C-alpha cells in the first residue's frame, strides 16, 4: 500500500491484546551485533550530529529482535523482526505449520496468518461459540512474546539513519544471516487515541524534532529502560543499563504505560481520562531501515473540544508539536494512499492507521465522517 511502512505483526484475532496477554523475553543475545568499524562510524556520526544539535542526548532503548505467537497446547509460532511482512523466519520447534512467503502482498499475508492463528486457538482449550469462532478469554494468555535486547539513540542514528545502511544490511545478511543484525532497531510506541465523540487525535510535529518535522503524527515515543530500572529501585546512568538489571514483567508494564505517558506529555490530557491500552501490533518504518513501533489503541473519556482545550494549555512535551487535529473514526478507517490526508501523515502514523484498520479494537457502526482542525 505504501513503501514507507509495513505491518510486522497484528492482533486482529483478539481485537488487540491487553497487558496480561503480552510477555517479553530479555537477553543480551537480542542486542545489536558489535563490529569495530561500525562502532567508529557511529561515534563519528554522533559527534557531528551533537555539534549541530547540542540538545540531543543519548538514552537507552529496547531493541526488538523477534516475536513469538504461542498457544497453550501447540508449540510457539516464531517470527523474526528482520522480515518486512508477517513471516515465519525460524522454526526452533520443528513445527509442521507452513511459513508465509515474505514476497506475498501484505493483505494476503495477514489473511493467511489469521487463518493459522484461528486453527491454533481452536485447540487451545478455550470455550467455542456456536459459530465455531474461538472465544479467547484473558485466562488463555499470554498470546504474544516479544524478544527484546538493548540499544540506544546514538546507535539508532548511526545505523538505521546512516548513509551506509544498505551496506550494513548487506553485511548483516552475509555475516550473521540477518540483515538487521548490525542495526539498532529501537522499539517505539504510538497511540491511536479516540475521544468520547469518536475523533482520533493527531498532532502536527514541530520542525525542531529529529524526524518528520511538519507532518501529522499520533502521540508516541519509546518505552524507557531507565524507567524500568527506577521502578525496581535501581538508580543507574543510561550508559550502564543492562538486561540483567530488569525484570520482564516490569518491562511489559513500561511498554503499556509508556504510551499513556506519551499521550499525557504530548497532548496534555490527564492519565485518569485514558482507558487501558490495547496492543494493535507492530509496524515497520522503512524510511529508517524498518525501525519497529508497537502501536496501541487508547480510548479517552474527554470530547475532542475538551482535548483541544487541554492541548493548548501546554504539556511537558508541548515543544514537539505545533497543532492538534481531529479526524473522525470513520475517516481514519477509510484512509489509504489515495486520500489527501495520507500524504500529510508521517510513516509512524501510517503504520498505526494500518494496524487500526486491520484490528478494529473498537468495532462498532461507523460514525459520520468529519475533520476538525484545532485553532490556537
CB 284 within 8 A of CB 6: yes
| 3-class secondary structure, 74 | coil
Question: What is the C-alpha separation between 80 and 101, in angstroms, rounded?
Answer: 13
pLDDT of residue 214: 81
pLDDT of residue 139: 46
Question: What is the C-alpha separation between 204 and 212, in angstroms, rounded?
Answer: 10
β-strand partners of 279:
17, 296
Instruction: Domain ranges for the chain, please list them.
Output: 5-69+142-359
pLDDT by residue for the chain (376 residues), tens only, comes to 799 999 999 999 999 999 999 999 999 999 999 999 999 999 999 999 999 988 888 999 999 999 998 754 444 444 555 433 332 233 323 232 222 222 233 333 333 333 333 333 322 333 223 333 334 444 466 799 999 999 999 999 999 999 999 999 999 999 999 999 999 999 999 999 999 999 999 999 886 665 657 899 999 999 999 999 999 999 889 999 999 999 999 999 999 999 999 999 999 999 999 999 999 999 999 999 999 999 999 999 999 999 999 999 987 777 888 899 999 999 999 999 999 999 999 999 999 999 999 999 998 644 444 445 554 3
Residues recorded for the chain? 376
Question: What is the C-alpha separation between 121 and 337, in angstroms, rounded?
Answer: 34
Q: For the domain with range 5-69+142-359, which CATH number is right: 3.20.20.70, 3.30.70.20, 1.10.3720.10, 3.90.79.10? A: 3.90.79.10
Question: What is the C-alpha separation between 198 and 188, in angstroms, rounded?
Answer: 25
**Predicted TM-score (pTM) of this structure:** 0.82
Please state whether the peptide bond connecting residue 281 to the residue before it is cis, i.e. omega within 30 degrees of 0: no
pLDDT of residue 70: 72
Count of C-beta atoms within a 10 Å radius of residue 48: 11
> 260-299 burial, b for 16+ CB within 10 Å, e for fewer?
bbbbbbbbbbeeebbeebbbbbbbbbbbbbbbbbbbbbbb
Cell of 306: 475538551
Amino acid at each position: 500500500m505504501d513503501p514507507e511502512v509495513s505491518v510486522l505483526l497484528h492482533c486482529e484475532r483478539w481485537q488487540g491484546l491487553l497487558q496480561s496477554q503480552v510477555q517479553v523475553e530479555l537477553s543480551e543475545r537480542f542486542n545489536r551485533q558489535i563490529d569495530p568499524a561500525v562502532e567508529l562510524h557511529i561515534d563519528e556520526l554522533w559527534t557531528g550530529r551533537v555539534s549541530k544539535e547540542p540538545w540531543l542526548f543519548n538514552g537507552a532503548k529496547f531493541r526488538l529482535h523477534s516475536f513469538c505467537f504461542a498457544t497453550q497446547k501447540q508449540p510457539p509460532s516464531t517470527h523474526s523482526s528482520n522480515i518486512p511482512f508477517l513471516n515465519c523466519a525460524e522454526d526452533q520447534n520443528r513445527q509442521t505449520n507452513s511459513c508465509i512467503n515474505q514476497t506475498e502482498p501484505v493483505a494476503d499475508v495477514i489473511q493467511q496468518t489469521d487463518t493459522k492463528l484461528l486453527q491454533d486457538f481452536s485447540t487451545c482449550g478455550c470455550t467455542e461459540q456456536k459459530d465455531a469462532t474461538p472465544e479467547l478469554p484473558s485466562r488463555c494468555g499470554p498470546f504474544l512474546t516479544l524478544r527484546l535486547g538493548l540499544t540506544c539513540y546514538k546507535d539508532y542514528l548511526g545505523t538505521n539513519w546512516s548513509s551506509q545502511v544498505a551496506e550494513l544490511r548487506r553485511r548483516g545478511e552475509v555475516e550473521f544471516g540477518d540483515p538487521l543484525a548490525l542495526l539498532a532497531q529501537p522499539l517505539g510506541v504510538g497511540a491511536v487515541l479516540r475521544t468520547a465523540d469518536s475523533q482520533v487525535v493527531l498532532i502536527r510535529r514541530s520542525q525542531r524534532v529529529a524526524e518528520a518535522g511538519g507532518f501529522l503524527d499520533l502521540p508516541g515515543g519509546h518505552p524507557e529502560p531507565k524507567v524500568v530500572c527506577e521502578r525496581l529501585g535501581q538508580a543507574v546512568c543510561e550508559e550502564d543499563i543492562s538486561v540483567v538489571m530488569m525484570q520482564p514483567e516490569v518491562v511489559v508494564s513500561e511498554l503499556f504505560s509508556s504510551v499513556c505517558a506519551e499521550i499525557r506529555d504530548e497532548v496534555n490530557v490527564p492519565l485518569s481520562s485514558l482507558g487501558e491500552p490495547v496492543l494493535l501490533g507492530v509496524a515497520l518504518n522503512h524510511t529508517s531501515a524498518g525501525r519497529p513501533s508497537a502501536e496501541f489503541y487508547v480510548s479517552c473519556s474527554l470530547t475532542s473540544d475538551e482535548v483541544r482545550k487541554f492541548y493548548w494549555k501546554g504539556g511537558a512535551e508541548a515543544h514537539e508539536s505545533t497543532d492538534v487535529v481531529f479526524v473522525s473514526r470513520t475517516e481514519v478507517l477509510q484512509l489509504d494512499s489515495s486520500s489527501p490526508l495520507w500524504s500529510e501523515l508521517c510513516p509512524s502514523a501510517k503504520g498505526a492507521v494500518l494496524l487500526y484498520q486491520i484490528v478494529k479494537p473498537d468495532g462498532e457502526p461507523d460514525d459520520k465522517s468529519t475533520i476538525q482542525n484545532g485553532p490556537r
